[in-house]
Amino acid sequence: MSSSQRPLPRNFLLLFGNAASRAFLGRRGLVLILLAALPAVLAWFVVHSGARVGMDVFLGATLMFAFQFIVPFLGLLVGVAVLGDEIEGRTVTYLFTRPQSRPVVFLARYLGFATAFAVLVFVTTFLAAHFWSSGVPITPRQVAGTAGIAALGFVVYAAFFAALRMYVSRALFVGFILGFIFEGAISKLPGTGIARCSVWHHVALLEVRLFDPTATTHELRELLSGIGADETAAGSLMTLGAILVVSLAAGAWRVRTQETRLANAAT
């Protein structure tokens, strides 16, 4: 081995860099960029259309459109591509016959993709919130906070769907059911506490606490009737962190113990 660098950090960095630098390539990359840009485009058009923009419009666009649709959709598309790209492209063979464990490939590629797209989500959400701020009283801290919450929600969704891809071959379909139909349904169940099982619930809670710690505005109560007064931002951050770690651990364990079959592989 001619490199003086230790194999594990060296290979982790190489795989991370490869994934991050290739994240936006191709038609899929373009679609993901356009998708991530939608909230900013929407905000710009609404604000410049001369329509009355209040806190209800801002929260509706942010929570119901960006956080409940764009962020999970991006998380789904990016998450299933973390190792799915390599498996479907059959290039995973090159990576799995190198001297690093398969979980290292999974984790490094996740971090590469998640970093690249989290920056994109942060920037586009920041722009969206900035555009809204011309019609709604939003502080710079709230603009940056909203962007940070979107990026955090994205990385959690991406980790969950990356792990799901390791267990389910039709992860895009199953992920769509879980991310939109199932999550959407349980996040609307008041009083049972089951809403706390959804990522969106915690992402929305962080946004609520960012804007109105006492949750007093009419719009917030309307939109977020499932959020309990006892729930704190710290609790939601910990829950999202736990989902992230458990998802990555489950994905890494699966890829370590289960062989990866290539599509149309010859026997």
Partner 1 sequence: MIPEPRPPAPPPIATFEHAAKWYGQVIGLVDATVQIGPGVTGLLGPNGAGKSTFLKLLTGQLQPSQGTVRLLGADPFATTSVHARLGFLPEQDAFYEDMTGRAFVRFLAGLQGCAERADEALQRVGLTEAAGRKIRTYSKGMRQRVKLAQAIAHDPQVLVLDEPLTGMDPVARRQMIDLMRDFERRGATVVVSSHILHEVEAMTDRVILLYQGRVRAVGTREEIRGLLDKHPHQIRVQTSRARDVARALLDLPGVVGVRVDDGSVHVDTTDPEAVYDRLPRFVLEEGLPVDGLEAADVGLDAIFDYLVK
Q: Which is nearer to partner 1, 10 or 60 (CB)?
A: 10
Q: Which is nearer to partner 1, 49 or 264 (CB)?
A: 264
What is the dihedral sign for C-alpha 26, 250, 173, 189? negative
Q: Which is nearer to partner 1, 102 or 201 (CB)?
A: 102
Smallest gap, in angstroms, from Cβ of residue 251 to partner 1?
A: 17
Smallest gap, in angstroms, from Cβ of residue 31 to partner 1?
A: 16
Smallest gap, in angstroms, from Cβ of residue 102 to partner 1?
A: 7
Smallest gap, in angstroms, from Cβ of residue 83 to partner 1?
A: 14
CA distance 71 to 187: 15
**Residues in contact with partner 1 by the rule CB under 8 A:** 1-3, 5, 7, 10-11, 14-15, 18, 22, 25-26, 89-91, 93-102, 259-262, 265-267
Is 15:104 a contact under the CB 8 Å cutoff?
Answer: yes
Is 176:76 a contact under the CB 8 Å cutoff?
Answer: yes
Q: How many CB atoms lie within 10 A of CB 80?
A: 24
Is 39:61 a contact under the CB 8 Å cutoff?
Answer: yes
Q: Which is nearer to partner 1, 26 or 228 (CB)?
A: 26
CA distance 142 to 150: 12
Smallest gap, in angstroms, from Cβ of residue 84 to partner 1?
A: 14
Q: Which long-range contacts (CB under 8 A, 24 or more apart) does 85-90 make?
A: 87/260, 87/262, 87/263, 88/263, 90/262, 90/263, 90/265
Smallest gap, in angstroms, from Cβ of residue 256 to partner 1?
A: 9
Q: Which is nearer to partner 1, 217 or 260 (CB)?
A: 260
Is 215:227 a contact under the CB 8 Å cutoff?
Answer: yes
Single out the residue of 73, 82, 42 nearest to residue 181, CA to CA: 73
Q: Which is nearer to partner 1, 86 or 183 (CB)?
A: 86
